Structure 1
């Protein structure tokens, strides 16, 4: 019986194995068919088209959002002024803590259109209003560049449109301009990229427009472009709800009321202050960069003092801004990024040199304080204190070298200005006044130290100014010509001879 069962079992196993083999073969054939279909489907996919769709989705997603960035600095400034007079020199000094916040923003809804903006607040510790009710403390030219109150102000807001004119790419832009910490001056501020203007003679906030044309391709000159810049530095208009014209300082004059919103305020004898300039990048190959600018400003402002009624001193007098004339200027600047590629030190060294000039076109004198008994004019407000056209000159050099650690930098700068030199550098962030506006000599050294990469940095900066003439960093109208510091002191009048500013700061950027 066992002999019969054994062959039956073997036969059954063989039959079952045959069935299993046939089933496995069928499954393999089905899998081959599915793989062939999948391969055919993959070959039919347009990978490039799919990638373009993904990119469009990403771009649309990015364009639907405004990207923000933060630039925050805490600083301690030690400022010191030395006065010169014939009896004894006197010093004024102070230590000031400040917080400076710039909230940047940007958006690009499409490839040919970009929006950029920035809000800024720059305040001293514990201060919630302008120092001493100074009407010029938060002037529009430097509203976010001068420490004062805790108000958040508009620093930048503009759009850029990218177009093509034949073989020439161009951009058109309108709005609140990126016009502080420009070419060369960005180094001392530890900013990797400069703003639009040449910082030697233009460094202030303003509203306007720019039109840039990239002519590198048609000229064959590396990096060459030119940019037409238009700006308004002062708009002459009454407020929406004007109160009165004139501001009595002494006497019993009764102000006259007016209800003419946004009408030209002729009582202030001033006009719209406008500026037009041409910025030219003559060459830029990454190592050598040559920039030039020429500009003209119309209706420059100066402070004017007048009696309210003729020569009657009992009616008091007023201070207003008046149009003192026009000004032209220009500069030529060279920057070398890497003096040599032969060693790391020279490759990491940056050098720049710049020459600038300014020339006035005065509109005449404006009377101030008249003697009521004789009618004699005590003094006059004139353009830079002179009734005739005057030319000023300035030169500016700097060197930035690698420091002791990785990515730290040490900088040295020097600039000199002549008797009638006048710059538009009211937005320069130096608490003793703009060093680049100096009529005399200014020296500076700084050390930039990354603490946590580019996100947290430290800076030590020392600025020393030795004035030769009066009137540095003032408005365009002055009473009396610039005088030598020694001559003013010899007349028995105290005058600032030297100024110093030591800054220690920590800066967070993300």
Structure 2
């Protein structure tokens, strides 16, 4: 309607001079006006067609934009982050080799050869990709893929089978935690169902976040807790958990925490197993069950307790390398269950001004079946006694004010029968928290001045550290064989009979370049 009125008005304006000169121009003037009107009409029609084309193009662009916006929205649901670490290690150990052949009866003369094993430069790269996405408002997925390999290797660099004590060939309990090949593997993958019934209750299932627990984050250059259990339980496994969060503890106001009941599987025995679970007849599944309790967590203060049972533990795990598994079976016979292991630990962590500090204590107890546990193979009889082990771990990290440097120190001690569940440790060679003896560590962290962080995940630093292992007993993290005193020459032939190395001490220097994004 507006366009029609505009056209009539224009025609009227053009017609005024023509009407004023009608007497002089007559019919010729009228014809000129009509010609101008026809020309203007054609121009208006052409303009309408152009406007229609423009509208169609704009509609198509808006539709395309809507489609892209929808795709952007879908993509933005997945939050990605990650980290990269390049690390170099120097490792050396003092090992004694006796002249007593395996299976030699006691009483034979004992002599030793001192051996120094050294790796002057063990270089590794580790890349991890974290992802997080919501399926529903209260159902969330979290996952992490990891590649971890040694420079120049596409397999675990274990010195042709001469792995340090506390180390394992690749199996489910150290997947992505031991240098292997360049493939990305699933490190963590689990789904949380939060706010069940509009209450602070949640359920979670999948491959658990059970590595690098507190207080490991301090020496690893992190400010946040990285796992559910303490560092004494450093074992990737699949399982479920159910938890409850609270804000007030035993009547104390503003005392937040959370408690979880956890279950996991450490070994799947498969079909048609003999439930007698003896050395001569089959094996049961190995399962974990326990309680993980953040007693108090507010600001820098953190108090934590955990207690769990490893039920029907295996004599040796299901190694990924079939040749390694065949070698174990040839030496130890078919895989079998040995009983249960009970484990309780607690950690208290806090910060005073620029000084971070923590204290951790733990207890382990064996509960063997008739196959025994911590067996003295020279006696010919299974050790069915319940053996108690203990460990302490303490440390500090001082964040130097107005500086890019942090410095830290840690100490841990394990008793004769101490058993840590740490096949997924991050010490490259031997797990320090599994040591039956003492470990001392010094480190410094330098925050790289590379400009402002481009996201909340952004961080880059260099870490330099030194560890000294001082062993008291053999077989750290081994629940199959009796620990033998490394300082007692009379026990040398027993350790030799059991196929154990006698390691007096070890030293390790590490240097890392790390970036988080």
TM-score, scaled to structure 2 = 0.70
Query: Is residue 2:152 matched to residue 1:122?
Result: no
Instruction: Give the Cα–Cα distance (whole angstroms) in 2 for the partners of residues 302 and 405 of structure 1.
Output: 52
- Post-superposition offset of 1:404: 7.0
- Post-superposition offset of 1:119: 0.9
Gapped runs of 5+ residues in structure 1? 1-56, 238-261, 305-315, 340-346, 368-376
Q: Which residue of structure 1 lines up, in the alignment, with residue 462 of structure 2?
A: 458
Q: Which residue of structure 2 lines up, in the alignment, with residue 137 of structure 1?
A: 169
Q: Which residue of structure 1 lines up, in the alignment, with residue 239 of structure 2?
A: 208
SS at match of 1:137: coil
Instruction: Give the Cα–Cα distance (whole angstroms) in 2 for the partners of residues 321 and 236 of structure 1.
Output: 10
Q: Which residue of structure 1 lines up, in the alignment, with residue 18 of structure 2?
A: none
2:370 pairs with one of 364, 372, 377: 364
Q: Which residue of structure 2 lines up, in the alignment, with residue 79 of structure 1?
A: 91
Query: Is residue 2:396 matched to residue 1:399?
Result: yes
Q: Which has the higher strand share?
A: 1
SS at match of 1:208: strand
- Post-superposition offset of 1:319: 3.9
Contact kept, 8 Å, 2:372 with 2:384, in 1: the verdict is: no
Query: Is residue 2:248 matched to residue 1:235?
Result: no
Q: How does 1:16-415 map to 2 (within 5 A)?
A: 61=73, 65-84=77-96, 86-94=111-119, 95-131=121-157, 137-164=169-196, 168-217=199-248, 219-221=250-252, 222-237=255-270, 262-264=271-273, 269-303=282-316, 319-337=333-351, 339=352, 347-365=353-371, 386-403=383-400, 406-415=403-412
Instruction: Give the Cα–Cα distance (whole angstroms) in 1 for the partners of residues 116 and 93 of structure 2.
Output: 6
Q: Which moved more, 1:400-409 or 1:293-302?
A: 400-409
- Post-superposition offset of 1:99: 0.7
SS at match of 1:201: coil
TM-score, scaled to structure 1 = 0.71
Task: Report the number of matched residues.
Answer: 396
Q: Which residue of structure 2 lines up, in the alignment, with residue 12 of structure 1?
A: none
SS at match of 1:144: coil
SS at match of 1:486: coil
- Post-superposition offset of 1:177: 0.5
Contact kept, 8 Å, 2:84 with 2:126, in 1: the verdict is: yes
> Highest Rg: 1 or 2?
2
Q: Which residue of structure 2 lines up, in the alignment, with residue 434 of structure 1?
A: 431
Q: Which moved more, 1:60-69 or 1:458-467?
A: 60-69
Relative distance call for 1:319 and 1:406 in structure 2 (3 A) is farther
Query: Is residue 2:480 matched to residue 1:477?
Result: yes
Contact kept, 8 Å, 1:333 with 1:354, in 2: the verdict is: yes
Q: Which residue of structure 1 lines up, in the alignment, with residue 49 of structure 2?
A: none
SS at match of 2:487: helix
Gapped runs of 5+ residues in structure 2? 1-68, 98-110, 162-166, 318-329
- Post-superposition offset of 1:459: 0.6
SS at match of 1:198: coil
SS at match of 1:141: helix
- Post-superposition offset of 1:456: 2.2
Relative distance call for 1:75 and 1:141 in structure 2 (3 A) is same
Instruction: Give the Cα–Cα distance (whole angstroms) in 2 for the partners of residues 165 and 398 of structure 1.
Output: 41
- The structure 1 segments of at least 4 consecutive aligned residues displaced by more than 6 Å after TM superposition are 57-60, 132-135, 265-268
- Post-superposition offset of 1:62: 5.9
Q: Deviations over 1:210-269 (max 9, x none)?
A: 1110122474441122111111111112xxxxxxxxxxxxxxxxxxxxxxxx55488873
Contact kept, 8 Å, 1:199 with 1:425, in 2: the verdict is: no
Contact kept, 8 Å, 1:489 with 1:495, in 2: the verdict is: no
